[in-house]
């Protein structure tokens, strides 16, 4: 279920407001004002060690590799000044969504995570984390997380 559906908006109105040049403009969209500050950019890679070393060599602060089997990934966080983070992702298993991404793209931006002040759903229980489908967001998976 898309965030537009969860918030009680139709996906078609979401697409029209975002991409069809609505006469009212983007600010009139039902989800306008939802986004907060960028938390991190997730980058899928087929070689986590090599990618992490690249950032270490640039004197970035690089975390240890952490397996997250519930998400099907290994992850490493890279902190860049002044307040920017990258999340490097390597597939953990053949059914990893990141493996599917890499099969299509070799490497690249997997998703953006934006903080939002609150996540209230009209159709389901409260949630703290929602993904917006790439087809609704110019080809990029956008993750919203309650701050």
pLDDT tens-digit series, residues 65-100: 999 999 999 999 999 878 888 899 999 988 898 898
Distance CA(76)–CA(71), nearest Å, equals 14
Specify the higher pLDDT residue, 6 or 32.
32
Q: How far is CA 40 from the centre of its chain?
A: 8
pLDDT of residue 91: 94
Nearest to 143 by CA among 125, 128, 131: 131
Count of CB atoms situated within 10 Å of the CB of 34: 15
pLDDT of residue 14: 42
Specify the higher pLDDT residue, 82 or 5.
82
48, containing H or E segment: helix 48-57
Helix (H, G, I), strand (E, B) or coil at 50: helix
Q: What is the pLDDT of residues 8-22, one digit of tens each?
A: 444 444 433 343 333
* pTM, rounded to two decimals: 0.63
pLDDT of residue 136: 67
Nearest to 4 by CA among 128, 137, 103: 137
Q: Which fold has domain 3-146?
A: 2,3-Dihydroxybiphenyl 1,2-Dioxygenase; domain 1 (3.10.180)
pLDDT confidence bin for 124, thresholds 50/70/90 = low
Confirm if 133 and 144 have CB atoms less than 8 A apart.
no
Nearest to 55 by CA among 40, 23, 83, 77: 77
Mean pLDDT score of the chain, rounded to an integer? 74
Helix (H, G, I), strand (E, B) or coil at 90: strand
> What's the helix, strand, coil split of the chain in %, to 5?
25, 30, 40
């Amino acid at each position: 279920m898309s965030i537009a559906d969860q918030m009680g908006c139709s996906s078609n109105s979401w697409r029209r407001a975002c991409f069809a040049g609505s006469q009212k403009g983007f600010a009139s969209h039902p989800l306008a004002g939802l986004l907060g500050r960028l938390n991190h950019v997730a980058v899928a890679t087929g070689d986590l060690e090599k990618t992490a070393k690249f950032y270490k060599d640039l004197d970035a602060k690089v975390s240890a590799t952490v397996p997250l089997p519930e998400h099907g990934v290994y992850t490493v966080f890279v902190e860049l000044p002044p307040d920017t983070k990258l999340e490097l992702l390597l597939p953990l298993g053949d059914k990893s969504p990141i493996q599917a991404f890499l099969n299509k793209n070799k490497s690249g931006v997997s998703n953006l995570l934006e903080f939002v002040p609150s996540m209230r759903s009209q159709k389901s229980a409260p949630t703290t984390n929602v993904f917006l489908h790439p087809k609704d967001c110019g080809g990029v998976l956008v993750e919203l997380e309650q701050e």
